Structure 1
Amino acid sequence: MRSLARCFCSSNAKHPPKFEEHAILADETTFSVNEVEALYILFEQLSSSAIDDDFIHKEDFLLAISNGSSKQNLLSERLFDLFDAKRKGVIEFGEFVRALHIFHPDAREAEKISFAFRLYDLRHTGYIEREGLKEMVLATLREHELDLCLSIDAVEAIVDKTLQEVDLKGDGKIDEEEWKDLVAKNPSLIKNMTLPCLRDITLAFPHFVVESEVPDSELFR
Structure 2
Amino acid sequence: MNFYFRVFKKFRETCPELVPKRMIGNEPMTVKVPLEHMEKLPELKENPFRKRICEVFSRDGKGHLTFEDFLDLLSVFSEQAPRDIKVFYAFKIYDFDGDRFIGLSDLEQAARLLTRNELAAEEITQIAEKVIEEADVDGDGKLSYMEFEHVILRAPDFLGTFHIRI
Give TM-score scaled by structure 1 length.
0.63
What's the CA shift for 1:37?
A: 1.2
Of 90, 108, 124, 1:155 maps to 124
Percent of aligned pairs with the same amino acid? 21
What's the CA shift for 1:86?
A: 4.5
Number of corresponding residues = 153
Range that drifts further, 154-163 or 115-124: 154-163
Per the alignment, residue 18 of structure 2 pairs with 52
Partner Cα distance (2:68, 2:85) in 1? 17
CA offset digits 1:166-191 (Å, max 9, x no partner): 01111111110001100111122223
* 1:110 counterpart SS class: helix
Q: Cα distance 1:191–1:75, how it changes in 2: closer, same or farther (>3 A)?
A: same
Q: Is the 8 A contact 1:47 1:55 kept in 2?
A: no
Correspondence 1:165 to 2:144? no
CA RMSD of aligned residues (A): 2.1
Partner Cα distance (2:136, 2:62) in 1? 34
| Higher RCO (Cα < 8 Å, 6 or more apart) | 1
What's the CA shift for 1:152?
A: 2.5
Per the alignment, residue 40 of structure 2 pairs with 63
Amino acid at match of 2:137: L
Larger Rg: 1
Correspondence 1:174 to 2:143? yes
Give the ranges of 4+ consecutive aligned residues of structure 1 lying more than 6 Å apart after TM superposition. Answer: none
Q: Is the 8 A contact 2:51 2:63 kept in 1?
A: no
**Structure with more of its chain in helix, by fraction:** 1
What's the CA shift for 1:63?
A: 2.3
CA offset digits 1:15-43 (Å, max 9, x no partner): xxxxxxxxxxxxxxxxxx92111110001
Per the alignment, residue 38 of structure 1 pairs with 6
